[in-house]
């Protein structure tokens, strides 16, 4: 498994996630929300992670920054940043990595900023936590950062409070906050979902430009294939807690290797090539309590065989990337499985 | 399996429901329920199980006065397990009868508050405009004052209107009314809020168009929606109402000493506290605290189980 | 900001007028003021003359205006019970009530808020659970019972602290204070704890639940994701955000302390306005009741105004409402 899903470049990976499992103990038993997920991110690379809500993509991101919300916990696997294992670090040591080495951006810029502190105070506080700077130097750096994220009149706006900024401007402040101690990796969880469509493109372009300029890698978690197509170098598709396909973004979009990914691409108007009507996937993702035997996608798959009902596929080389589907195995999916058989 | 009777289905639902589950899984709640049932049973069976009839003067004897409780002093007398007061009344029996009065006043005033509150809430929400503004302003002003003060004020007004002597005869009703009038606001606000939400829903509009009476619409659609919150408020208020009655009686403006509730007993005992006869005060006090604690625990649990957002 | 304060002032005046209306109805229509002023055998003519002279035959609105004008000058007439001027009776007793309420409020704030922060930050720790359980008992114990139990332990059994009265006081102008004599401070301890305990548990539970709520917000999560220290997050970001609701409740509680003082004053024979009010209820002494009502109403209004001003200090969103959303697009 360790060789699976290596990035395209030959550089030493910045982030390595190996066989990560995240589980939630609940009253009806333990739920496995992230199941055996492995991937790498190279320095400066943008990895898109896409999937429906509940597929485990945000949890994977939270596990990486060490902020799983209890009772969620990492139940197995390991996470390495620049070769150093970080998933089992004590809280205080992990805290020093957060912000300094790994930044994070969350979905809602309206609620990500503390309403009672000026943006300058929040920036200076974060800078001084990680960098040995005087208050005056930190403030200068904060102003530079605000300029860099495109806030007009930064010298004057630094003393304003979050409610005095619009949603798009607030997300720019959030990006400045995530970048202010110069992290090597940013985990961006749905950074544009809460914004107006017109502002989404600006924010994505800004994020892309800043990360290129600073050489920062990005793990971009979203359910929006359009954003991924525009931004990412590689894309990982998640379904029911597992990665079902991972590969270079253009290959995945044009020649998806997993039936689920094909459905996902077909459901996007601009990407659904040639086809007159949008393809849709029947049914919905299973709840974590009732994941079927075999391949988790089998009840919705039009190409399932008998093998898919009993045996769960791991990632198999497919095209330029990898896909968790027996279609790419030499033995194939086996004889066609009828609806009755699947329900039995 | 599809042939299950409606009742069977309900039972199945009830046994599987979150409410029942959360009840069973909380030991504190089960104990609180048991304590509540025990105290209520003790209070209402008082005429049958109480060893004495403490407020029948013919059964009292001053020679029985100020006996200490048996477990705390060798001078105790087993026919008065918790001791006696200065008149020779059995403390245990007094507590049983007193709890009964406290519970009756508590329940009755919660019902009064509920009826007034739901009624005014419906009127306020449905008619809106000036009526609504008036009712809600009164509610605001009343909320500014603690319930105990409102109850005291109402009691004082009644004393001003009728003679102080006659007051004792109707004291129970005055207290129930005073406490009821001081707790209606929360119900009214809840019901009003629900009416405002329901009023603009299409089915209510439709019902109005086909000529159903507004009263019918309210009763059919709004009341079921507020049963949960109202029940929660009522449980929490029961504890408060019992405390308020006890406080009023303790202050000497509640139930008279001829019909003593727990609060009255504590007041009477308090006069003897300085000379060391603690049991006359402490046992009724402990009963009161236990009862209110149990009721509050049930209220807390019910609030969390029915609607974690309601605070 | 000025507009906001003016609006609040107008609301306060409206509340006071409503309270005044209730007081007026009490004063004027519950019991007959004339009966209290003259003997049983006063002839009807003389009563009528007095009625005319006091303006009791004027139309009700005119009487109401007179009542409010008098109330504004602190004139509430004579007590039915003692025939003393009501304002003097209240003025004599108000220092006792205010000092007691102040001590109780300080006790509730300085013990309740830290306890709430602690239990909110470490909700799973055994000591938090213990505090939470004890606080439920605190809420279930009626104030008077707490007072009685404290007297039983600390006065009757241990003889440590006095159980009634103000002890020794010092008079400064018309104000009498407990704070300048050890005996006076000693006398304050038990009543203050009694009065403050309920508010303490209430504040603790409120701060706890607000703290739990705030700790779940996105900005706290984002602060953690930036690697800020726990200290900065808990006592900077989180505590400041819990302050807004806490100020509201603490303000209201401060008001109800003054009203709740009447129970504590009765238990400890504390010569304050609360005790006066209880006596006036027992004797249907309407002028004193009306005056007390107005006084409590005034306290509430003043406290609410103070709370509003505190909001401005804490919450920048309110401060800039007046100036508009500067520079936002």
Structure tokens of C236?
């900077």
Q: Are A40 and A315 in contact (CB under 8 A)?
A: no
- Do C225 and A165 lie within an 8 Å CB cutoff? no
Predicted TM-score (pTM) above 0.90: no
Asked, for residue B25, whether it belongs to a domain, the answer is: no
Say how far residue A222 (Cα) sits from the centre of its chain. Answer: 6
Q: Cα angle vertex C319, ends C314, C323, to 5°?
A: 170
Pick from A48-52, A154-158, C156-160: least confident: C156-160
3 state DSSP class of A186: strand
Q: How high is the mean pLDDT of chain A?
A: 84
Q: What is the pLDDT of residue A257?
A: 85
User: Could you tell me which chain C residue has the CA closest to the CA of B278?
Assistant: C152
User: What is the pLDDT at residue B310?
Assistant: 40
Who among B146, B149, B293 is closest to C137 (CB)?
B293
| Contact between A163 and C229 using a beta-carbon 8 Å cutoff | no
C56 at interface of A, judged by CB pairs closer than 8 A: no
Cβ neighbours of B250 in C, within 8 Å: 142, 144, 263, 266
B282 chain-C contacts, CB cut-off 8 A? 149, 152
**Looking at the complex, does the CB of residue B45 fall below 8 Å from at least one CB of chain C?**
no
Cβ <8 Å between C140 and B292: yes
- Kindly give the confidence (pLDDT) of every residue in chain C, 329 residues in length, as a single tens digit, with 9 standing for 90 and above: 677 778 878 888 888 888 888 888 877 777 666 666 666 677 778 778 777 777 777 788 888 888 888 888 888 877 877 878 888 889 888 999 999 999 998 999 899 888 988 888 888 888 888 888 888 777 788 888 888 888 888 888 888 888 777 877 778 877 888 777 778 888 888 999 999 988 888 888 888 888 888 888 889 999 999 989 888 898 888 888 888 778 877 877 777 788 788 889 988 888 989 889 888 887 778 888 888 888 888 888 888 888 878 877 777 777 665 443 333 33
pLDDT at C38: 67
Q: Could you tell me which residue, A164 or C171, shows the higher pLDDT?
A: A164
Is beta strand A321-323 parallel, antiparallel or unpaired with respect to A242-248? antiparallel
C263: which chain B residues are within 8 Å (Cβ-Cβ)?
Answer: 148, 247, 250-251
pLDDT in tens, A225-281: 888 888 889 999 998 888 989 999 888 888 888 888 888 877 665 554 554 555 567
- Give the pLDDT of residue A177: 92
pLDDT at A272: 46
Cβ atoms of residues A245 and A321 within 8 Å: yes
* Residues of chain A with C-beta less than 8 angstroms from the C-beta of C236: 117, 125
Looking at the domain assignment, is residue B39 inside a domain?
yes
Phi first, then psi, for residue C85 (nearest 5°) are -65, 135
Chain A within 8 Å of C213 (Cβ-Cβ)? Answer: no
CA distance C9 to chain A (A): 26
The fold adopted by the segment(s) A41-63+90-245 is Rossmann fold (3.40.50)
Query: Residue B268: inside a domain, yes or no?
Result: yes
Note down the domain range covering B236: 31-310
Mind listing the domains of chain C with CATH numbers?
Answer: 2-72 (no CATH), 86-282 (1.10.3720.10)
The residue assigned the tokens 């004057």 is A156
pLDDT > 60? residue A2? no
Residue B23, in any domain of the structure = no
Q: How far apart are CA A336 and CA A343, in angstroms?
A: 14
Q: Does any domain span residue B57? A: yes
Residue C227 to residue A108, Cβ atoms within 8 A:
no
C-alpha dihedral sign at C194, B290, B272, B104: positive
Partner-chain contact A67 C221, CB within 8 Å: yes
Q: How many domains does chain B have?
A: 1
- Tens of pLDDT along A79-112? 999 988 998 889 889 999 998 999 999 888 778 8
Give me the pLDDT at residue A1, please. Answer: 39
Winning range, highest mean pLDDT, from A180-189, A225-234, B162-171, B216-225: A180-189
Residue A8 is classified by DSSP as S
We report the CATH number of the domain holding residue B128 as: 1.10.3720.10
pLDDT tens digits, one per residue of A289-320: 778 888 888 888 888 888 888 888 888 888 88
Look up the ipTM and state it.
Answer: 0.84
| Residue B246 to residue C144, Cβ atoms within 8 A | yes
Chain C residues inside the 8 Å CB shell of B149: 259, 262, 296
C322 shares contact with chain A (CB less than 8 Å): no
Residue the block writes with tokens 């009498």: C176
> CB distance from C223 to chain A under 8 Å?
yes
* Better-predicted residue by pLDDT, B208 or B38: B38
Nearest by CB: C228 against A107, A115, A129: A129
Alpha-carbon gap: C216 to the closest alpha carbon of chain A (Å): 9
**Residue of C281, C283, C285 to mutate, interface with B, max B Cβ within 10 Å:** C281
Question: What's the 3-state SS for C232-270?
Answer: HHHHHHHHHHHHHHHHHHHHHHHHHHHHHHHHHHHHCCC
Look at C19 and B282 and tell me if their CB atoms are within 8 Å. no
Query: What pLDDT sits at residue B2?
Result: 43
CA distance A81 to A102: 9
What average pLDDT does range A116-132 have in this prediction? 92
């Amino acid at each position: 498994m360790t060789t699976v899903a290596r990035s395209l470049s030959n550089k030493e990976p910045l982030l390595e996630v190996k066989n990560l499992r995240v589980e939630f103990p609940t009253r009806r038993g333990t739920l496995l929300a992230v199941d055996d997920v492995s991937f790498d991110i190279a320095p400066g690379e943008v990895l898109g992670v896409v999937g429906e809500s509940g597929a485990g993509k945000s949890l994977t991101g939270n596990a990486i920054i060490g902020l799983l919300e209890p009772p969620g916990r990492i139940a197995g696997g390991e996470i390495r940043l620049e070769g150093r294992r970080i998933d089992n670090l004590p809280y205080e040591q992990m805290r020093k990595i957060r912000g300094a080495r790994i930044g994070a951006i969350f979905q809602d810029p309206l609620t990500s900023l503390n309403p009672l502190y000026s943006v300058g105070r929040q920036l200076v506080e974060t800078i001084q936590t990680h960098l040995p700077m005087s208050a005056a130097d930190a403030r200068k750096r904060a102003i530079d950062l605000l300029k860099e994220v495109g806030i007009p009149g930064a010298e004057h706006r630094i003393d304003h409070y979050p409610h005095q900024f619009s949603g798009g401007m607030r997300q720019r402040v959030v990006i400045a906050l995530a970048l202010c101690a110069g992290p090597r990796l940013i985990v961006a969880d749905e950074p544009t979902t809460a914004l107006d469509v017109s502002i989404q493109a600006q924010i994505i372009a800004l994020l892309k430009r800043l990360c290129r300029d600073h050489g920062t890698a990005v793990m971009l978690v979203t359910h929006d294939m359009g954003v991924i197509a525009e931004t990412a170098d590689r894309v990982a598709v998640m379904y029911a807690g597992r990665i079902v396909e991972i590969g270079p973004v253009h290959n995945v979009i044009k020649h998806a290797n997993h039936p689920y990914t094909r459905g996902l691409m077909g459901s996007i108007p601009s990407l659904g090539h040639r086809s007159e009507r949008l393809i849709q996937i029947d049914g919905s993702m299973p709840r974590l309590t009732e994941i079927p035997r075999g391949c988790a996608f089998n009840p919705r798959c039009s190409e399932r065989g008998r093998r898919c009902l009993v045996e769960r596929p791991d990632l198999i080389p497919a095209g330029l990337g990898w896909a968790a589907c027996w279609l790419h195995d030499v033995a194939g999916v086996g004889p066609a499985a009828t609806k009755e058989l699947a329900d039995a | 399996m599809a042939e299950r009777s409606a009742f069977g289905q309900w039972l199945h639902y009830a046994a599987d429901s979150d409410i029942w589950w959360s009840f069973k899984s909380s030991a504190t709640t089960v104990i609180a329920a048991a304590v509540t049932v025990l105290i209520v049973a003790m209070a209402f069976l008082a005429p049958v199980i109480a060893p004495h009839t403490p407020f029948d003067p013919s059964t009292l004897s001053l020679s029985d006065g100020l006996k200490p409780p048996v477990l705390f002093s060798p001078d105790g007398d087993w026919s008065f397990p918790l001791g006696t007061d200065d008149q020779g009344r059995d403390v245990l029996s007094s507590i049983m009868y007193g709890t009964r009065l406290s519970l009756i006043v508590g329940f009755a005033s919660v019902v009064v508050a509920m009826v007034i509150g739901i009624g005014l809430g419906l009127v306020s929400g449905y008619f809106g405009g000036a009526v609504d503004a008036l009712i809600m302003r009164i509610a605001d002003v009343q909320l500014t004052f603690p319930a105990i003060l409102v109850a005291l004020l109402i009691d004082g007004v009644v004393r001003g209107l009728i003679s102080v002597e006659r007051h004792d005869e109707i004291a129970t009703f005055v207290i129930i009314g005073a406490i009821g009038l001081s707790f209606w606001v929360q119900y009214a606000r809840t019901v009003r809020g629900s009416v405002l939400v329901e009023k603009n829903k299409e089915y209510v509009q439709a019902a109005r168009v086909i000529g159903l009476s507004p009263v019918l619409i309210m009763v059919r659609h709004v009341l079921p929606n507020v049963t949960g919150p109202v029940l929660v408020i009522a449980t929490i208020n029961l504890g408060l109402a019992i405390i308020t009655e006890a406080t009023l009686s303790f202050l000497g403006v509640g139930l008279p000493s001829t019909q003593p509730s727990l609060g009255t007993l504590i007041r009477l005992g308090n006069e003897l506290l300085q000379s060391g006869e603690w049991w006359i005060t402490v046992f009724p006090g402990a009963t009161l605290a236990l009862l209110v604690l149990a009721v509050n625990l049930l209220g807390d649990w019910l609030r969390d189980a029915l609607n974690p957002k309601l605070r | 900001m000025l507009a906001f304060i003016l609006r609040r002032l107008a609301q306060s005046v409206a509340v006071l007028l409503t309270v005044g209306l209730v007081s007026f109805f009490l004063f004027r229509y519950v019991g007959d003021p004339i009966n209290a002023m003259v003997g049983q055998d006063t002839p009807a003519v003389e009563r009528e003359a007095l009625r005319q002279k006091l303006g009791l035959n004027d139309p009700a609105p005119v009487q109401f205006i007179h009542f409010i004008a008098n109330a504004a000058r602190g004139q509430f007439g004579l007590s039915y019970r003692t025939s003393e001027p009501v304002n003097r009776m209240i003025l004599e007793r108000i220092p006792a009530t205010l000092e007691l309420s102040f001590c109780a409020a300080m006790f509730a704030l300085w013990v309740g808020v830290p306890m709430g922060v602690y239990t909110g930050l470490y909700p799973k720790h055994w000591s938090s659970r213990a505090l939470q359980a004890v606080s439920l008992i605190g809420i279930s114990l009626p104030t008077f019972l707490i007072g009685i139990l404290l007297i039983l332990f600390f006065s009757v059994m241990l003889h440590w602290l006095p159980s009634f009265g103000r002890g020794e006081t010092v008079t400064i102008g018309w104000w009498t204070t407990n704070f300048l004599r050890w005996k006076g401070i000693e006398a304050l301890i038990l009543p203050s704890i009694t009065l403050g305990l309920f508010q303490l548990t209430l504040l603790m539970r409120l701060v706890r639940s607000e703290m739990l709520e705030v700790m779940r917000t996105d900005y706290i999560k984002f602060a953690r994701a930036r690697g800020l220290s726990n200290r900065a997050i808990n006592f900077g970001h989180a505590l400041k955000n819990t302050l807004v609701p806490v100020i509201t409740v603490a303000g209201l509680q401060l008001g109800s302390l003054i009203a709740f003082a009447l129970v504590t004053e009765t238990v400890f024979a504390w010569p304050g306005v609360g005790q006066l009010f209880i006596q006036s209820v027992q004797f249907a002494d309407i002028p004193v009741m009306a005056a007390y009502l107005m006084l409590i109403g005034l306290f509430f209004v003043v406290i609410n105004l103070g709370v509003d001003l505190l909001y401005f200090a804490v919450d920048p969103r309110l401060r800039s409402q007046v100036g508009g959303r500067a520079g936002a697009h």
